[in-house]
Amino acid sequence: MGTRKVARSEVRSYVNDFETKEYLRQYYASVEGDPDEELFTPFHRKQIEFYKKHSSKWDCKTARLLEFSGEERGEIELWKFEKEGAHDWSGHFKFAVNKLENMTGDATTSLNWRDRETLLRQRITEIIGCDICQDYALSRKQDPFNVISTSHTLEVICGTLFEYKAAVKKLVSLLKPGGFLTMFADECQTFYTIGQKKWPCLYITLEQVKEALSDAGMMVVVAEHKEASMEQLQNPTTSDHKAMLFVAAQRVE
Ligand SMILES: C[S@@+](CC[C@H](N)C(=O)[O-])C[C@H]1O[C@@H](n2cnc3c(N)ncnc32)[C@H](O)[C@@H]1O
């Protein structure tokens, strides 16, 4: 169990300044037609393939969501309990169920996208506070996890490779022996924007991510990256990422 505290060089602003609704509006309004669709679609397919391959080993009937701020947890609750003002995720469910799962050629269920959204609402049993920079990262004591997945997270909250490695160790400490960590991330990115505001990121490569995982006692089982198109590289809009990556690693028992 790692007890090292991650320095909070760039983290503080996420406490006060992160505008959840604006972030969702900018990055999750729609999925088809997104300028990065071609870049991220193969990774989402990889994730689905990974889960299909390994999920029979786990109880997949429940999911616990770890979220940093009260505002973000509130946003998920709005969606889970179908309250007014909730973000509309229907486009993402349609895309995931109709397009991505069909693309893998092995749809796991005959449920349509609406039923899948309802099922996920039911299966999320807890929404737990998580500050990966704290000695004990979770707001409530939890049984260890079979699998933890992150998306665009550690590289945007850690200021140095040292902090990044400590955060990976912290996540690994929350896993069962034999459990998996998957991460979907931007590679070689120094900033992304929300509205006019720039958010700093740690410039990190796939090799450094793999090194952090192996330092934390993980065996890397998937490590993929895809470079952004020349057009995206020449005209950076919402970020200066050079590529995206997906890794999956297993905690060595
Ligand atoms: C760029 S957003 C990514 C959100 C979402 N996972 C996604 O894929 O779009 C970065 C996330 O890191 C979270 N975060 C910031 N500081 C954190 C910390 N110390 N521990 C855990 N999460 C943190 C923020 O609250 C925010 O949700």
How does pLDDT run along the chain (253 residues), one tens digit per residue? 333 344 444 444 787 889 999 999 999 998 877 777 777 888 888 888 888 888 887 777 899 999 999 999 999 999 999 999 999 999 999 998 888 887 766 656 678 999 999 999 999 999 999 999 998 899 999 999 999 999 999 999 999 999 999 999 999 999 999 999 999 999 999 999 998 888 999 999 999 999 999 999 999 999 999 888 887 787 777 899 999 999 999 999 7
Range of the domain at 60: 13-251
Which residue's alpha carbon is nearest to atom 23 within ligand 1?
68
**Top mutation candidate among 13, 76, 157 for ligand 1, by most atoms within 8 Å of CB:** 157
Q: Whose CA is nearest to atom 12 of ligand 1?
A: 153
Q: How far apart are CA 1 and CA 52, in angstroms?
A: 29
Predicted structure pTM score = 0.91
Residue 8 within a domain: no
Q: Is 133 in the pocket of ligand 1 (CB under 6 A)?
A: yes
Pocket test of ligand 1: the residue of 68, 136, 168 to mutate, having most ligand atoms within 8 Å of its CB, is: 68
How many Å lie between the centroid of ligand 1 and the Cα of residue 181?
A: 16
Determine, yes or no, domain membership for 6: no
Residue range 50-82, pLDDT digits in tens? 888 888 877 778 999 999 999 999 999 999 999
The 8-class DSSP code of residue 73 comes to H
Ligand 1 centre to CA of 114 (Å) is 27
- Counting from 1 in the atom list of ligand 1, the atom nearest the Cα of 8 is 19
Kindly report each contact of residues 111-120 with a partner whose C-beta sits within 8 Å and lies 24 or more positions away, as own/partner. Answer: 114/90, 117/89, 117/90, 117/93, 120/63
pLDDT in tens, 185-226: 999 999 999 988 889 999 999 999 999 999 999 999 999 998
Q: At what angle do helices 206-215 and 161-173 cross, to 10 degrees?
A: 50
The verdict on residue 4 lying in a domain is no
Q: Which atom of ligand 1 is nearest to the CA of 137?
A: 20
DSSP 1: -
Assigned domain for 183 exists = yes
Eight-class DSSP state of 189: -
CA of 55 to the centre of ligand 1 (A): 25
Question: Is the shortest distance between the CB of 160 and ligand 1 below 6 Å?
Answer: no
Q: Cα of 140 to ligand 1 centre, how many Å?
A: 18
User: What's the total number of domains in the chain?
Assistant: 1
Q: Report the nearest atom of ligand 1 relative to the CA of 192.
A: 1
- The predicted structure's pLDDT at residue 106: 60
Q: Is the CB of 69 under 6 A from ligand 1?
A: yes
- Cβ atoms of 167 and 157 within 8 Å: the answer is yes
Residue 1 lies in a domain: no
Residue 190 lies in a domain: yes
Cα(76)–Cα(69) distance, integer angstroms = 11
DSSP E strand stretches across 71-209:
124-129, 145-151, 175-187, 191-194, 197-200
Q: Is 218 in the pocket of ligand 1 (CB under 6 A)?
A: no
Distance of CA 188 to the CA centre of its chain: 17
Residue 95 CA, distance from chain mean position: 17
Q: What is the CATH number of the domain that holds 60?
A: 3.40.50.150
User: What is the reported pLDDT for 216?
Assistant: 97
